[in-house]
């Protein structure tokens, strides 16, 4: 786990597991969220304009990962003049992806919900690469628990999320891009697959899965997200965990 402040339908189980295997190769807050009145004035003053929550890919060292770091760097350049806080999702990102990805989903969800509770005026950006993209899918694009996770973000959180950016998303390989299957986040999402990357397409260009930065897709995502952040106005919403 790391944090930094700066300025700047349904698929079969077999298909799902196969898609997640390709990604491998290449707790939720119990009390829920409370209204903005619970945050102290001091906490409000320290809230960033933008909170980025990003999940790295399989086997990358703890932190943002190479794609995540490039995306964050480009986004900070695009958002010059705004304060940006960055949170690297704390999860194993191991080859045991069926166990690892849900851990990432829970950690990302907890951080996002905590941000909404303490900083309701902050615009949230969610991102992930490869297995990290799968973790993001679990909380934003699978409300019916098609993949067996069943712990999506509370619906009202969507009002606080300016954009979602995923790279090399295994769900895209099986025809479930986040942009198409997420009723709450799809319109503000960008789901990028690099050419014939076999993790997210029917192609077989394995090196493509490691070339998102070189292909300019981190910058493309940053451009998209910056545009969404510019037009975003978080709403003050009270979220009750019992309504989940």
209, 180 contact by CB (below 8 A):
no
Return the pLDDT at 148.
81
Kindly tell me if the per-residue pLDDT of 10 is higher than 50: no
Question: So where are the chain's domains?
Answer: 40-232
Burial class (CB in 10 A: 0-12, 13-18, 19+), 151: middle
Q: What is the per-residue pLDDT across 146-188, written as a single tens digit (0 to 9) for each?
A: 678 889 999 999 999 999 999 999 999 988 899 999 999 999 9
Torsion sign (Cα): 68, 66, 133, 220: positive
Rounded Cα gap, residues 188 and 184, in angstroms: 9
Report, as an integer, the average pLDDT of 2-7.
50
- Banded model confidence at residue 234, pLDDT cuts 50, 70, 90: confident
Angstrom distance (rounded) from CA 111 to CA 121: 15
Residue 146 backbone phi and psi in degrees, to 5: -55, -35
Could you tell me the sign of the dihedral formed by the alpha carbons of 133, 5, 153, 220, in that order?
A: negative
**What pLDDT score does 33 carry?**
42
Helix, strand, coil share of the chain (percent; to 5): 45, 15, 40
Q: How would residue 29 be classed by pLDDT, with cut points 50, 70 and 90?
A: very low
pLDDT band at 117 (very low <50, low <70, confident <90, very high): very high
Could you tell me where the DSSP H helices lie in the chain? 13-25, 41-46, 65-78, 97-118, 131-140, 170-173, 178-181, 217-230
Between CA 153 and CA 29 the distance in angstroms is: 11
Window from 23-37, 164-178, 196-210, 228-242 with minimum mean pLDDT: 23-37
| Residue 45 pLDDT | 64
Catalytic residue set: 130, 197, 209
Please tell me the distance from the alpha carbon of residue 180 to that of residue 174, in angstroms, as a whole number: 12
Architecture of the domain whose range is 40-232: 3-Layer(aba) Sandwich (3.40)
- Residue 223, pLDDT > 50, answer yes
pTM for this model (two decimals): 0.81
- What pLDDT does residue 38 have? 43
What's the pLDDT at 65? Answer: 98
């Amino acid at each position: 786990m790391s944090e930094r402040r700066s300025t700047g339908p349904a698929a079969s189980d077999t298909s799902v597991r196969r898609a997640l295997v390709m990604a491998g190769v290449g707790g939720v807050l119990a009390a829920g969220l409370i209204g903005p009145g619970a945050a102290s004035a001091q906490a409000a003053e320290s809230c960033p304009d933008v909170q980025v929550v990003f999940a790295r890919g399989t086997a990358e060292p703890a932190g943002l990962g190479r794609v995540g770091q490039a995306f964050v760097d480009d986004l900070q350049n695009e958002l010059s003049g705004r304060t940006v806080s960055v949170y690297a999702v704390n999860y194993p990102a191991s080859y045991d992806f069926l166990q690892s990805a849900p851990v990432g989903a829970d950690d990302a969800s907890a951080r996002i919900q905590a941000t909404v509770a303490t900083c309701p005026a902050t615009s949230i950006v969610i991102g992930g690469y490869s297995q990290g993209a799968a973790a993001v899918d679990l909380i934003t694009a699978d409300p019916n628990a098609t993949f067996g996770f069943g712990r999506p973000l509370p619906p009202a959180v969507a009002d606080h999320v300016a954009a979602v950016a995923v790279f090399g998303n295994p769900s895209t390989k099986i025809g479930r891009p986040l942009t198409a299957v997420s009723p709450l986040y799809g319109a503000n999402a960008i789901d990028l697959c690099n050419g014939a990357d076999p993790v997210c397409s029917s192609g077989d260009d394995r090196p493509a899965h490691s070339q998102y930065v070189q292909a300019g897709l981190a910058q493309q995502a940053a451009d998209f997200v910056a545009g969404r952040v510019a037009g975003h106005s978080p709403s003050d919403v009270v979220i009750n965990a019992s309504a989940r």
